[in-house]
A and B are shown apart, each in its own frame.
Chain A
Amino acid sequence: MTAPRHYSPHDDTTQPAMVIPGYRETYVRVPKMPLFKRPLTLTELTGPTRIAQKLKPGAHPGDGNLAHPYPEKPRALGQLIQVGGRLLDEDGKPVRQSVIEIWHCNASGRYIHPMDANSPNPIDENFLGSGRVLTDDDGRYTFLTVKPAAYPYPNHPERWWRPAHIHLSIFGDSFMSRLVTQMFFPGDPFNDIDLILNSVPDPKGRARMIARQIPMHDMPVPNIIGFEHNIVLRGSAQTPFGV
Protein backbone atom coordinates (compact mmCIF):
# COMPACT_ATOMS: atom_id res chain seq x y z
CA MET A 1 0.00 0.00 0.00
CA THR A 2 1.12 3.55 -0.73
CA ALA A 3 1.76 5.26 2.60
CA PRO A 4 -1.24 7.31 3.70
CA ARG A 5 -0.65 11.02 4.01
CA HIS A 6 -0.61 12.72 7.37
CA TYR A 7 -3.34 15.21 8.20
CA SER A 8 -2.84 17.48 11.20
CA PRO A 9 -5.98 18.55 13.02
CA HIS A 10 -7.53 21.86 11.94
CA ASP A 11 -5.72 24.81 13.50
CA ASP A 12 -8.37 27.12 14.94
CA THR A 13 -6.05 30.12 14.72
CA THR A 14 -5.57 29.84 10.96
CA GLN A 15 -9.02 28.46 10.10
CA PRO A 16 -12.25 30.47 10.41
CA ALA A 17 -14.56 30.51 13.42
CA MET A 18 -17.66 28.41 12.81
CA VAL A 19 -20.02 30.89 14.49
CA ILE A 20 -19.42 34.53 13.57
CA PRO A 21 -21.10 37.40 15.45
CA GLY A 22 -23.16 39.38 12.96
CA TYR A 23 -23.26 36.60 10.34
CA ARG A 24 -26.71 35.33 11.25
CA GLU A 25 -26.73 32.28 9.01
CA THR A 26 -23.98 30.79 11.18
CA TYR A 27 -26.25 30.94 14.25
CA VAL A 28 -28.76 28.41 12.96
CA ARG A 29 -26.68 26.08 10.78
CA VAL A 30 -23.70 25.15 12.93
CA PRO A 31 -24.16 22.06 15.13
CA LYS A 32 -24.41 22.61 18.87
CA MET A 33 -23.05 19.15 19.67
CA PRO A 34 -19.27 18.82 19.67
CA LEU A 35 -17.89 17.22 16.53
CA PHE A 36 -16.72 13.61 16.92
CA LYS A 37 -13.08 12.87 16.07
CA ARG A 38 -12.99 9.78 13.87
CA PRO A 39 -10.13 7.48 12.86
CA LEU A 40 -8.99 8.01 9.28
CA THR A 41 -9.61 4.95 7.14
CA LEU A 42 -9.45 4.44 3.39
CA THR A 43 -12.77 6.20 2.83
CA GLU A 44 -11.46 9.40 4.40
CA LEU A 45 -7.95 9.15 2.95
CA THR A 46 -8.99 8.54 -0.65
CA GLY A 47 -11.02 10.68 -3.03
CA PRO A 48 -12.23 10.80 -6.61
CA THR A 49 -9.26 10.45 -8.96
CA ARG A 50 -11.43 10.92 -12.05
CA ILE A 51 -12.98 14.21 -11.03
CA ALA A 52 -11.52 15.99 -14.09
CA GLN A 53 -13.26 13.44 -16.36
CA LYS A 54 -16.50 14.18 -14.57
CA LEU A 55 -16.30 17.98 -14.36
CA LYS A 56 -14.34 18.55 -17.59
CA PRO A 57 -12.41 21.75 -16.90
CA GLY A 58 -11.86 23.53 -20.20
CA ALA A 59 -14.99 22.08 -21.85
CA HIS A 60 -16.68 25.49 -21.74
CA PRO A 61 -14.95 28.29 -23.67
CA GLY A 62 -15.08 30.53 -20.61
CA ASP A 63 -13.62 27.96 -18.21
CA GLY A 64 -10.16 29.54 -18.07
CA ASN A 65 -11.21 32.91 -19.43
CA LEU A 66 -14.16 34.15 -17.40
CA ALA A 67 -13.68 37.57 -18.98
CA HIS A 68 -14.78 36.25 -22.36
CA PRO A 69 -17.08 33.22 -21.93
CA TYR A 70 -18.96 33.65 -25.21
CA PRO A 71 -16.49 33.82 -28.10
CA GLU A 72 -19.12 35.27 -30.45
CA LYS A 73 -19.88 38.13 -28.06
CA PRO A 74 -17.77 40.98 -26.68
CA ARG A 75 -15.86 40.35 -23.50
CA ALA A 76 -17.40 41.11 -20.13
CA LEU A 77 -17.33 44.63 -18.71
CA GLY A 78 -14.84 45.40 -16.00
CA GLN A 79 -11.16 45.54 -15.28
CA LEU A 80 -9.28 42.67 -16.91
CA ILE A 81 -7.32 40.67 -14.34
CA GLN A 82 -5.29 37.51 -14.31
CA VAL A 83 -5.19 35.27 -11.25
CA GLY A 84 -2.60 32.54 -11.00
CA GLY A 85 -0.45 30.72 -8.54
CA ARG A 86 0.42 27.33 -7.23
CA LEU A 87 -1.61 24.69 -5.46
CA LEU A 88 0.62 23.10 -2.84
CA ASP A 89 0.40 20.59 -0.01
CA GLU A 90 1.72 21.15 3.50
CA ASP A 91 5.20 20.08 2.37
CA GLY A 92 5.15 22.73 -0.35
CA LYS A 93 4.88 20.03 -3.01
CA PRO A 94 2.69 20.74 -6.04
CA VAL A 95 -0.83 19.30 -6.12
CA ARG A 96 -1.01 18.17 -9.74
CA GLN A 97 -3.96 17.85 -12.09
CA SER A 98 -6.41 19.13 -9.52
CA VAL A 99 -9.70 20.70 -10.52
CA ILE A 100 -10.27 24.26 -9.29
CA GLU A 101 -13.79 25.65 -9.61
CA ILE A 102 -14.07 29.43 -9.75
CA TRP A 103 -17.05 31.74 -9.33
CA HIS A 104 -17.60 35.39 -8.53
CA CYS A 105 -19.94 38.32 -9.13
CA ASN A 106 -19.60 40.66 -12.07
CA ALA A 107 -18.02 44.10 -12.13
CA SER A 108 -21.21 45.63 -10.72
CA GLY A 109 -21.60 43.14 -7.87
CA ARG A 110 -24.20 40.81 -9.39
CA TYR A 111 -24.08 36.99 -9.38
CA ILE A 112 -25.55 34.75 -12.05
CA HIS A 113 -27.70 32.88 -9.53
CA PRO A 114 -31.41 32.72 -8.67
CA MET A 115 -30.54 33.73 -5.08
CA ASP A 116 -29.29 37.09 -6.41
CA ALA A 117 -32.45 37.81 -8.42
CA ASN A 118 -33.35 40.77 -6.20
CA SER A 119 -29.98 42.46 -6.55
CA PRO A 120 -30.25 46.09 -7.68
CA ASN A 121 -27.07 45.59 -9.69
CA PRO A 122 -27.32 44.82 -13.41
CA ILE A 123 -26.48 41.54 -15.13
CA ASP A 124 -23.73 41.68 -17.75
CA GLU A 125 -24.99 39.58 -20.65
CA ASN A 126 -21.40 38.86 -21.64
CA PHE A 127 -20.38 37.46 -18.26
CA LEU A 128 -21.11 33.97 -16.94
CA GLY A 129 -19.28 34.28 -13.64
CA SER A 130 -17.93 30.75 -13.30
CA GLY A 131 -15.19 28.56 -14.71
CA ARG A 132 -13.01 25.53 -14.04
CA VAL A 133 -9.29 25.03 -14.47
CA LEU A 134 -6.84 22.19 -13.87
CA THR A 135 -3.47 22.58 -12.17
CA ASP A 136 -0.45 21.51 -14.22
CA ASP A 137 2.31 19.14 -13.14
CA ASP A 138 3.92 21.99 -11.23
CA GLY A 139 0.68 22.70 -9.35
CA ARG A 140 0.18 25.91 -11.33
CA TYR A 141 -3.17 27.33 -12.28
CA THR A 142 -4.14 30.52 -14.03
CA PHE A 143 -7.30 32.16 -15.27
CA LEU A 144 -8.36 35.44 -16.77
CA THR A 145 -11.43 37.31 -15.59
CA VAL A 146 -12.81 40.73 -14.76
CA LYS A 147 -12.39 42.11 -11.29
CA PRO A 148 -15.49 41.43 -9.16
CA ALA A 149 -17.06 44.36 -7.30
CA ALA A 150 -17.69 44.70 -3.59
CA TYR A 151 -21.38 44.43 -2.69
CA PRO A 152 -23.52 44.90 0.41
CA TYR A 153 -24.62 41.70 2.16
CA PRO A 154 -28.37 41.48 1.45
CA ASN A 155 -30.70 42.66 4.22
CA HIS A 156 -27.99 43.01 6.84
CA PRO A 157 -29.23 45.23 9.72
CA GLU A 158 -25.87 46.86 10.37
CA ARG A 159 -24.62 47.15 6.79
CA TRP A 160 -21.96 44.63 5.91
CA TRP A 161 -20.15 45.06 2.65
CA ARG A 162 -18.39 42.06 1.23
CA PRO A 163 -15.01 43.11 -0.19
CA ALA A 164 -14.29 42.02 -3.76
CA HIS A 165 -13.58 38.27 -3.64
CA ILE A 166 -13.38 35.17 -5.79
CA HIS A 167 -14.80 31.82 -4.64
CA LEU A 168 -12.63 28.74 -5.19
CA SER A 169 -13.62 25.08 -4.77
CA ILE A 170 -10.67 22.71 -4.95
CA PHE A 171 -10.60 18.91 -5.02
CA GLY A 172 -6.95 18.00 -4.35
CA ASP A 173 -6.12 14.31 -4.17
CA SER A 174 -8.33 13.11 -1.34
CA PHE A 175 -11.66 13.92 0.28
CA MET A 176 -9.54 15.15 3.24
CA SER A 177 -7.86 17.81 1.14
CA ARG A 178 -11.12 19.18 -0.34
CA LEU A 179 -11.20 22.95 0.17
CA VAL A 180 -13.74 25.69 -0.44
CA THR A 181 -12.23 29.11 0.12
CA GLN A 182 -12.41 32.75 -0.93
CA MET A 183 -9.61 34.87 -2.39
CA PHE A 184 -9.49 38.57 -1.56
CA PHE A 185 -7.75 41.52 -3.23
CA PRO A 186 -5.02 43.62 -1.63
CA GLY A 187 -6.03 47.13 -0.63
CA ASP A 188 -9.78 46.61 -0.64
CA PRO A 189 -11.16 48.98 2.03
CA PHE A 190 -13.72 46.36 3.08
CA ASN A 191 -11.10 43.71 3.85
CA ASP A 192 -10.69 45.17 7.34
CA ILE A 193 -14.37 44.90 8.23
CA ASP A 194 -15.41 41.73 6.41
CA LEU A 195 -16.95 39.27 8.86
CA ILE A 196 -15.83 36.28 6.80
CA LEU A 197 -12.18 37.25 6.21
CA ASN A 198 -11.80 38.46 9.81
CA SER A 199 -13.20 35.25 11.28
CA VAL A 200 -9.68 33.82 10.86
CA PRO A 201 -7.96 34.84 14.13
CA ASP A 202 -4.31 34.77 12.95
CA PRO A 203 -3.36 37.87 10.88
CA LYS A 204 -0.97 35.69 8.83
CA GLY A 205 -3.84 33.30 8.14
CA ARG A 206 -5.90 36.22 6.86
CA ALA A 207 -2.97 37.55 4.82
CA ARG A 208 -2.76 34.19 3.04
CA MET A 209 -6.31 34.66 1.79
CA ILE A 210 -5.37 37.96 0.12
CA ALA A 211 -3.76 37.73 -3.31
CA ARG A 212 -0.56 39.62 -4.09
CA GLN A 213 -0.56 42.08 -6.95
CA ILE A 214 2.20 41.28 -9.44
CA PRO A 215 4.29 44.40 -10.18
CA MET A 216 2.92 45.86 -13.42
CA HIS A 217 6.30 45.65 -15.18
CA ASP A 218 6.41 41.91 -14.53
CA MET A 219 3.19 41.43 -16.49
CA PRO A 220 3.67 40.42 -20.13
CA VAL A 221 0.92 42.68 -21.42
CA PRO A 222 0.10 46.23 -20.35
CA ASN A 223 -3.65 45.98 -19.96
CA ILE A 224 -4.06 43.20 -17.38
CA ILE A 225 -3.56 43.49 -13.65
CA GLY A 226 -1.95 40.31 -12.40
CA PHE A 227 -2.56 38.67 -9.06
CA GLU A 228 -0.64 35.81 -7.54
CA HIS A 229 -2.45 33.54 -5.14
CA ASN A 230 -0.88 30.38 -3.78
CA ILE A 231 -3.13 27.90 -2.03
CA VAL A 232 -2.14 25.19 0.45
CA LEU A 233 -4.28 22.07 0.87
CA ARG A 234 -4.24 19.80 3.91
CA GLY A 235 -1.91 16.83 3.77
CA SER A 236 1.75 16.01 4.24
CA ALA A 237 3.93 13.05 3.39
CA GLN A 238 5.73 13.57 6.66
CA THR A 239 4.62 12.23 10.00
CA PRO A 240 5.40 14.65 12.81
CA PHE A 241 7.48 13.43 15.73
CA GLY A 242 5.51 11.73 18.43
CA VAL A 243 2.77 10.47 16.12
Chain B
Amino acid sequence: MDSNQIMRTAAASNAAAVDTAAGGANLASATAFVPTASGTVGPFFPPRFLGEGDNNLSIVTPGAAAAAGERIHLCGHVYEAGRVPRFNTIVELWQADANGRFAHPLDPQHADADPHFMGWGRTWTDQTGYFEFTTVKPGSYLDPVSRQQRAPHINISFTGSGLMRRLVTTLYFHGEPGNENDPVLAVIADPGLRSRLLLTPLPDQAAAPGVSSFGIDIVLQGESETPFFVD
Protein backbone atom coordinates (compact mmCIF):
# COMPACT_ATOMS: atom_id res chain seq x y z
CA MET B 1 0.00 0.00 0.00
CA ASP B 2 1.48 3.38 -0.91
CA SER B 3 0.95 6.35 1.34
CA ASN B 4 -1.88 7.74 -0.79
CA GLN B 5 -3.82 4.51 -0.40
CA ILE B 6 -3.00 4.53 3.29
CA MET B 7 -4.24 8.10 3.45
CA ARG B 8 -7.60 7.18 1.96
CA THR B 9 -8.03 4.15 4.16
CA ALA B 10 -6.96 6.03 7.22
CA ALA B 11 -9.15 9.03 6.52
CA ALA B 12 -12.20 6.82 6.00
CA SER B 13 -11.92 5.16 9.36
CA ASN B 14 -10.12 7.84 11.33
CA ALA B 15 -13.41 9.49 12.18
CA ALA B 16 -14.50 6.32 13.97
CA ALA B 17 -11.20 6.06 15.80
CA VAL B 18 -11.38 9.68 16.89
CA ASP B 19 -14.97 9.24 18.05
CA THR B 20 -14.01 6.19 20.11
CA ALA B 21 -11.15 8.11 21.58
CA ALA B 22 -13.24 11.20 22.16
CA GLY B 23 -15.00 9.58 25.07
CA GLY B 24 -11.58 9.63 26.68
CA ALA B 25 -9.09 12.33 27.26
CA ASN B 26 -8.94 14.99 24.58
CA LEU B 27 -12.55 16.01 24.10
CA ALA B 28 -13.29 15.47 27.77
CA SER B 29 -10.45 17.77 28.76
CA ALA B 30 -11.85 20.34 26.35
CA THR B 31 -15.37 20.17 27.78
CA ALA B 32 -15.08 23.82 28.76
CA PHE B 33 -14.16 24.51 25.11
CA VAL B 34 -11.52 26.99 26.08
CA PRO B 35 -9.86 28.62 23.06
CA THR B 36 -6.63 26.88 22.08
CA ALA B 37 -3.54 28.92 22.97
CA SER B 38 -2.08 30.92 20.12
CA GLY B 39 1.61 30.64 19.32
CA THR B 40 4.20 32.39 17.25
CA VAL B 41 4.11 31.81 13.51
CA GLY B 42 7.89 31.44 13.91
CA PRO B 43 10.50 32.30 11.28
CA PHE B 44 9.53 29.52 8.87
CA PHE B 45 6.10 30.40 7.45
CA PRO B 46 6.20 28.67 4.05
CA PRO B 47 6.96 31.12 1.22
CA ARG B 48 4.81 28.98 -1.06
CA PHE B 49 1.80 29.98 1.07
CA LEU B 50 2.25 33.55 -0.17
CA GLY B 51 0.70 33.01 -3.56
CA GLU B 52 0.50 35.22 -6.62
CA GLY B 53 -2.10 37.90 -6.09
CA ASP B 54 -2.51 37.18 -2.39
CA ASN B 55 -1.58 40.80 -1.66
CA ASN B 56 -4.30 42.07 -4.01
CA LEU B 57 -7.55 42.45 -2.09
CA SER B 58 -9.45 43.60 -5.15
CA ILE B 59 -9.50 40.17 -6.82
CA VAL B 60 -10.65 36.79 -5.55
CA THR B 61 -8.30 34.77 -7.77
CA PRO B 62 -5.60 35.82 -10.25
CA GLY B 63 -7.13 36.76 -13.60
CA ALA B 64 -10.60 37.26 -12.13
CA ALA B 65 -12.55 40.47 -12.63
CA ALA B 66 -11.41 43.29 -10.38
CA ALA B 67 -13.59 44.93 -7.78
CA ALA B 68 -15.29 48.27 -8.25
CA GLY B 69 -13.97 51.38 -6.58
CA GLU B 70 -10.96 53.64 -6.32
CA ARG B 71 -7.88 51.46 -6.68
CA ILE B 72 -5.16 52.13 -4.15
CA HIS B 73 -1.64 50.94 -3.47
CA LEU B 74 -0.93 50.58 0.25
CA CYS B 75 2.66 50.19 1.38
CA GLY B 76 4.72 50.50 4.52
CA HIS B 77 7.60 49.33 6.63
CA VAL B 78 7.61 47.31 9.84
CA TYR B 79 10.20 48.15 12.48
CA GLU B 80 11.16 46.54 15.78
CA ALA B 81 12.86 48.30 18.72
CA GLY B 82 15.56 50.78 17.71
CA ARG B 83 13.80 51.26 14.37
CA VAL B 84 15.41 48.09 13.04
CA PRO B 85 13.57 46.92 9.91
CA ARG B 86 11.69 43.71 10.64
CA PHE B 87 12.11 41.15 7.90
CA ASN B 88 9.73 38.18 7.59
CA THR B 89 6.64 39.58 9.30
CA ILE B 90 3.40 38.12 7.94
CA VAL B 91 0.92 40.95 7.29
CA GLU B 92 -2.80 40.40 6.68
CA LEU B 93 -5.52 42.90 5.76
CA TRP B 94 -9.30 42.77 6.04
CA GLN B 95 -11.66 45.53 4.92
CA ALA B 96 -15.07 46.41 3.49
CA ASP B 97 -15.62 46.90 -0.24
CA ALA B 98 -15.87 50.32 -1.93
CA ASN B 99 -19.47 50.69 -0.73
CA GLY B 100 -18.70 49.69 2.85
CA ARG B 101 -20.13 46.17 2.57
CA PHE B 102 -18.83 42.74 3.52
CA ALA B 103 -19.52 39.47 1.69
CA HIS B 104 -20.30 37.91 5.06
CA PRO B 105 -23.70 36.85 6.48
CA LEU B 106 -23.34 39.18 9.45
CA ASP B 107 -23.57 42.21 7.16
CA PRO B 108 -27.30 43.00 6.64
CA GLN B 109 -26.33 44.24 3.16
CA HIS B 110 -24.07 41.33 2.26
CA ALA B 111 -26.26 40.47 -0.75
CA ASP B 112 -25.15 43.78 -2.27
CA ALA B 113 -21.45 43.27 -1.54
CA ASP B 114 -19.15 43.42 -4.56
CA PRO B 115 -18.79 39.79 -5.72
CA HIS B 116 -15.39 40.52 -7.23
CA PHE B 117 -13.91 41.95 -4.06
CA MET B 118 -11.89 39.59 -1.85
CA GLY B 119 -11.35 42.01 1.05
CA TRP B 120 -8.57 39.84 2.48
CA GLY B 121 -4.91 39.85 1.56
CA ARG B 122 -1.61 38.60 2.88
CA THR B 123 2.05 39.29 2.28
CA TRP B 124 5.36 39.34 4.15
CA THR B 125 7.97 41.98 4.76
CA ASP B 126 11.29 42.00 2.89
CA GLN B 127 14.79 42.70 4.26
CA THR B 128 13.95 46.41 4.62
CA GLY B 129 10.70 45.67 6.46
CA TYR B 130 8.71 46.71 3.37
CA PHE B 131 5.28 45.35 2.46
CA GLU B 132 2.70 46.37 -0.13
CA PHE B 133 -0.88 45.65 -1.11
CA THR B 134 -3.28 46.55 -3.89
CA THR B 135 -6.88 47.18 -2.91
CA VAL B 136 -9.76 49.60 -3.33
CA LYS B 137 -10.55 52.39 -0.93
CA PRO B 138 -13.06 50.98 1.56
CA GLY B 139 -16.39 52.73 1.93
CA SER B 140 -17.76 54.22 5.11
CA TYR B 141 -20.66 52.28 6.65
CA LEU B 142 -23.24 52.52 9.40
CA ASP B 143 -22.27 49.75 11.79
CA PRO B 144 -25.33 47.71 12.79
CA VAL B 145 -23.68 46.55 16.03
CA SER B 146 -22.59 49.90 17.51
CA ARG B 147 -25.08 51.92 15.40
CA GLN B 148 -22.24 54.31 14.68
CA GLN B 149 -20.71 55.39 11.39
CA ARG B 150 -17.37 53.75 10.61
CA ALA B 151 -14.94 55.94 8.69
CA PRO B 152 -13.12 54.25 5.78
CA HIS B 153 -10.58 51.94 7.43
CA ILE B 154 -8.53 48.78 6.93
CA ASN B 155 -7.87 46.23 9.67
CA ILE B 156 -4.29 44.95 9.63
CA SER B 157 -2.62 42.14 11.57
CA PHE B 158 0.99 41.13 12.15
CA THR B 159 2.38 37.72 13.05
CA GLY B 160 5.97 36.58 13.08
CA SER B 161 8.84 35.28 15.10
CA GLY B 162 8.67 36.73 18.62
CA LEU B 163 4.96 37.51 18.41
CA MET B 164 3.14 34.94 20.53
CA ARG B 165 -0.17 36.61 19.81
CA ARG B 166 -1.26 38.34 16.65
CA LEU B 167 -0.95 42.13 16.79
CA VAL B 168 -3.93 43.97 15.34
CA THR B 169 -4.63 47.57 14.51
CA THR B 170 -6.72 49.71 12.16
CA LEU B 171 -5.51 52.09 9.45
CA TYR B 172 -7.37 55.26 8.47
CA PHE B 173 -7.08 57.77 5.64
CA HIS B 174 -5.48 61.14 6.37
CA GLY B 175 -7.95 64.02 6.21
CA GLU B 176 -11.08 61.87 6.08
CA PRO B 177 -13.87 63.86 7.81
CA GLY B 178 -15.45 60.72 9.27
CA ASN B 179 -12.33 59.96 11.29
CA GLU B 180 -13.53 62.33 14.02
CA ASN B 181 -16.58 60.20 14.78
CA ASP B 182 -15.21 56.71 14.18
CA PRO B 183 -15.97 54.60 17.28
CA VAL B 184 -12.72 52.61 17.07
CA LEU B 185 -10.39 55.55 16.48
CA ALA B 186 -12.22 57.34 19.33
CA VAL B 187 -10.78 54.78 21.76
CA ILE B 188 -7.41 56.50 21.36
CA ALA B 189 -7.70 59.90 23.02
CA ASP B 190 -4.24 61.27 22.22
CA PRO B 191 -4.23 62.97 18.77
CA GLY B 192 -0.51 62.24 18.44
CA LEU B 193 -1.11 58.53 18.83
CA ARG B 194 -4.12 58.62 16.52
CA SER B 195 -2.02 60.21 13.81
CA ARG B 196 0.21 57.10 13.76
CA LEU B 197 -2.71 55.13 12.30
CA LEU B 198 -3.24 57.51 9.38
CA LEU B 199 -2.29 56.41 5.89
CA THR B 200 -0.31 59.19 4.23
CA PRO B 201 -0.77 59.94 0.51
CA LEU B 202 2.42 59.28 -1.48
CA PRO B 203 1.78 61.24 -4.70
CA ASP B 204 5.28 60.54 -6.02
CA GLN B 205 4.94 56.78 -5.70
CA ALA B 206 1.85 56.22 -7.82
CA ALA B 207 2.07 52.56 -8.82
CA ALA B 208 0.08 53.04 -12.02
CA PRO B 209 -2.06 55.75 -13.65
CA GLY B 210 -5.22 56.25 -11.63
CA VAL B 211 -3.90 54.37 -8.63
CA SER B 212 -3.26 56.43 -5.49
CA SER B 213 -0.44 55.34 -3.22
CA PHE B 214 -0.60 55.49 0.58
CA GLY B 215 2.11 54.74 3.13
CA ILE B 216 2.33 53.83 6.80
CA ASP B 217 5.16 53.08 9.23
CA ILE B 218 4.43 50.28 11.68
CA VAL B 219 6.65 50.49 14.75
CA LEU B 220 6.20 47.35 16.87
CA GLN B 221 8.17 48.83 19.76
CA GLY B 222 10.02 52.02 20.66
CA GLU B 223 9.87 55.67 19.65
CA SER B 224 6.73 56.49 17.63
CA GLU B 225 5.33 53.10 18.55
CA THR B 226 2.16 52.18 16.67
CA PRO B 227 -0.98 51.90 18.83
CA PHE B 228 -2.34 48.36 18.68
CA PHE B 229 -5.75 47.09 19.71
CA VAL B 230 -6.89 44.05 21.66
CA ASP B 231 -10.21 42.42 20.86
Contact = CB atoms under 8 A, between A and B. Distances in A.
Nearest to A1: B108
Interface stretch (B10-18, B69-77, B173-181, B206-214): B10-18
Given A42-B96, A181-B38, A221-B9, 17 more contacts: A4-B145, A14-B35, A16-B38, A25-B162, A28-B221, A41-B148, A42-B150, A68-B3, A82-B14, A90-B35, A103-B44, A113-B45, A167-B45, A174-B104, A179-B36, A182-B39, A228-B18
B164 A221 contact: no
Main secondary structure of the interface of B (DSSP, over half): loop
Contact of A44 (B14, B155, B227): B155
Main secondary structure of the interface of A (DSSP, over half): loop
A167 B231 contact: no
A218 B20 contact: yes
B51 interface: yes
B18 A26 contact: no
Contacts, number: 322
Given A51-B120, A208-B29, A212-B25, A28 B187 contact: no
Q: How large is the interface on A (under 10, 10 to 19, 20 to 34, 35 or more residues)?
A: 35 or more
A196 B37 CA distance: 11
Interface in A55-76: 55, 64-65, 67-68, 71, 75
A33 to B, nearest CB: 5
Contacts of B27: 86, 230
A67 B1 CA distance: 14
Q: How large is the interface on B (under 10, 10 to 19, 20 to 34, 35 or more residues)?
A: 35 or more
A28 B118 CA distance: 33
A30 B107 contact: no
A223 B188 CA distance: 57
Interface string B84-99: 1010100010111000
A218 B21 contact: yes
A114 B47 contact: yes
Nearest to A111: B44
B108 A38 contact: no
